[in-house]
Amino acid sequence: MTELIEVRHLKVRHVPKKAAAKELVKGIDLSITKGRIIGIIGESGSGKSMAMKALMGLLPEGVQAESQSYLFDGQAVKDAADLPISMIFQDPMTSLDPVRTVGYHLREVIFRQQKLSKAACDQLAIQQLEKVGIPQPEQRLKQYPHELSGGMRQRVMIAMALLTNAQVLIADEPTTALDVTVQAQILALIQQLQEETELTVILVSHDFGVVAGMCDEVHVMLEGQFVESGSGEDIFYRPQHPYTKKLLQAAAFVEEDQGGASL
C-alpha cells in the first residue's frame, strides 16, 4: 500500500506576542495510506483540528508548526498550502458567505482550477451537486446558504471540496451541527464518495459513534498526543489506553440513553 501522507514529529505551538508559547500538538507521527479512511478522535481542545490545519498550511496567526519530515506521495513538502487537500467543517454557515449564492461559491472553486465560461462552470457545478445528492441542482445555484437546510449546506461544502480535485478530504467534525438522521446521511455520503473515487479521508471527531464501523484506522488524541492507534476493530473492541476506554464507555452510555445499542 502507498503511504500518501507521512509526517514525523509534528508540533504545533501557539506563540502569542505577550505570553509564553503553548504547545498544542506535541510531536505526533502520522502515516496515511492512499484510499483509506482514517479516524482521529479526542475531546475538544485535544489538538485534532490544529494538527489537520498544520497538514494543510492553514494555521491562524500566532500559531506555528514544525516537523522533522513531511512527505506527500513520497515527495518532501515545501508549502503545505499547495497540497491537494481539502477540508469540510462542522458548521458550513461559517464557511459559506451568506451574501453569495451557492452558484457563486462553486464557480469560484472551479475558476481556481480551470478557466471555463460561466455556462460551463454552472454545468460542472450542477453535476457535482447531483453527485452529492442535492435535488434540483439548477435551482440551488441561485439560492443563498440560509435558504438551504444544514444537511444541504454540508453537501455543498463536500461538493466544493471535490471540485478542487483533492486527493485527501479532511472532515473536521462534519456532523456536529446536524440532527442524528442527517448525520448518518452525510457520513454515508462521505463513505460512498471515498469508495467510488478512492479518495483518502481523515475523519476528525470527538464522538466514537461517528467513526464506528467507518474507519480503517483510528488514532486517539489527548492533550496534543496520540495515546493509542490501531485498526478500527482493535480500538473499538480491544482498547488498551484508559482514555480510550473512557471514551468508549461514554459513547456506550449515550447510545443506551438514546435507546440504541451500545458499541
> Using an 8 Å Cβ cutoff, are 224 and 47 in contact?
yes
Name the residue among 47, 52, 55 with its Cα closest to residue 72.
55
Identify the pLDDT of residue 157. 93
pLDDT tens track for 203-245: 999 888 888 778 999 999 999 999 999 998 899 999 999 999 9
Residue 19 falls inside a structural domain: no
Which amino acid is located at 133 in the chain? G
Identify the pLDDT of residue 10. 97
Identify the pLDDT of residue 4. 95
User: How many domains does the chain fold into?
Assistant: 1
Identify the pLDDT of residue 1. 60
Identify the pLDDT of residue 16. 87
Mean pLDDT across 145-160: 93
Q: Which three cell numbers stand for residue 176?
A: 456536529
In the three-class reduction of DSSP (H, G, I as helix; E, B as strand; rest coil), residue 221 is classed as strand
Residue 186 falls inside a structural domain: no
pLDDT tens track for 158-196: 999 989 989 999 999 988 878 888 888 999 999 999 998
Say which CATH number the domain at 140 has: 3.40.50.300
Domain residues for the domain of 93 are 85-166
Identify the pLDDT of residue 253. 46
In the three-class reduction of DSSP (H, G, I as helix; E, B as strand; rest coil), residue 35 is classed as coil
Residue 242 falls inside a structural domain: no
Give dist(CA 242, CA 250) in Å, integer: 12
